[in-house]
Structure 1
Amino acid sequence: MATETEVGELLHQRGWRMAFTVAERVDAWAALVSSVERGYGDDIHEYTNDLYCRNWLHEAWLLLDEHIVQLWTPQIRSLDERFKAATVDDGGQALALFHRLPGPDLWWWRRHPRILTDDLGRSLRSAGAIGTEPDTA
């Protein structure tokens, strides 16, 4: 197993745009989760781009030293639960119209925000997503 720095560098070599740290990706996941809970205000392309922070964590977990995994897992699980509560599982049907879905183990790609607002809400509704308006959530 590898250190956080080694994993950041390895994933960067595999195509991630930079050598992220676990803290940076957890912070990005937390920011996305909070935004989804409030009503994501950006467009579909930003949303799918933002989901990749969770992909990075998934990939890193397979490589990281067990101590680092144990240290961060409770926070990530908590964020995952919040994300699940703020989203609807549609098997990825809505997002699949805009972005190629990754493998089934990346469950966050098969969910869309429960609160559908702004550009993202319009795009997802056009793809058949059902959700709530921000003022009724």
Structure 2
Amino acid sequence: MATETEVGELLRRRGWRTAFTVAERVNAWAALVSAVERGYGDDIHEYTNDLSCRDWLHEAWLLLDEHVVQLWTPQIEALDDRYRAATVDDDGHALDQFHRLPGPDLWWWRRHPRILTGDLGRSLRSAGAIGTGPDAT
């Protein structure tokens, strides 16, 4: 298994735009989860781009040494739980209208925000997504 630096560089060579660190991608996932909980206000293209931070973590977990995995897994699992709570599982039907879905093991692509607001909300509603508005409780 590889170190964080080695994994970041390996994934960059595989097509990621930079050699990210685990902390950078966990922070990006945390920021996206918080935005989804509040009501994601950006558009569908930004949302799908933002989801890729979780893709990076998924790929990195297969390569990282066990110590790094054990260190970060509790925080990622807690963020995953928050994301699940703030989203609706529609097996990816709404997002699939705008972005080719990856394999089924990337479960976060098969969910959409529960609060549908802004450009993203309009796009997802047009694709059949059902959710609440930003003021619903």
Q: Would you say same fold, with TM above 0.5?
A: yes
Per-residue deviation at 1:2? 0.1
* Residue of structure 1 equivalent to 2:63: 63
* Residue of structure 2 equivalent to 1:25: 25
Divergent runs of 4+, >6 A: none
- Give the distance between the partners of 1:135 and 1:48, measured in 2 at CA: 24
- Give the distance between the partners of 1:91 and 1:8, measured in 2 at CA: 30
Length-normalised TM-score, structure 2: 1.00
Per-residue deviation at 1:81? 0.1
Length-normalised TM-score, structure 1: 1.00
* Residue of structure 1 equivalent to 2:89: 89
- Give the distance between the partners of 2:96 and 2:37, measured in 1 at CA: 21
* Residue of structure 2 equivalent to 1:4: 4
Q: What whole-Å deviation, never above 9, does each CA across 1:61-116 have from its counterpart, x for those lacking one? A: 00000000000000000000000000000000000000000000000000000000
* Residue of structure 2 equivalent to 1:133: 133
- Give the distance between the partners of 1:109 and 1:76, measured in 2 at CA: 16
Per-residue deviation at 1:53? 0.0
Per-residue deviation at 1:124? 0.1
What secondary structure sits across from 2:88 in the alignment? strand
What secondary structure sits across from 1:135 in the alignment? coil
- Give the distance between the partners of 1:27 and 1:49, measured in 2 at CA: 15
CA RMSD of aligned residues (A): 0.3
- Give the distance between the partners of 1:8 and 1:17, measured in 2 at CA: 10
- Give the distance between the partners of 1:70 and 1:113, measured in 2 at CA: 28
**5+ residue gaps, structure 2:** none
Count residues with an aligned counterpart.
Answer: 137
Give, as a single letter, the amino acid of the residue that structure 1 aligns with 2:90: D
- Give the distance between the partners of 1:42 and 1:133, measured in 2 at CA: 15
Q: Share of identical aligned residues, percent? A: 85
Per-residue deviation at 1:59? 0.1
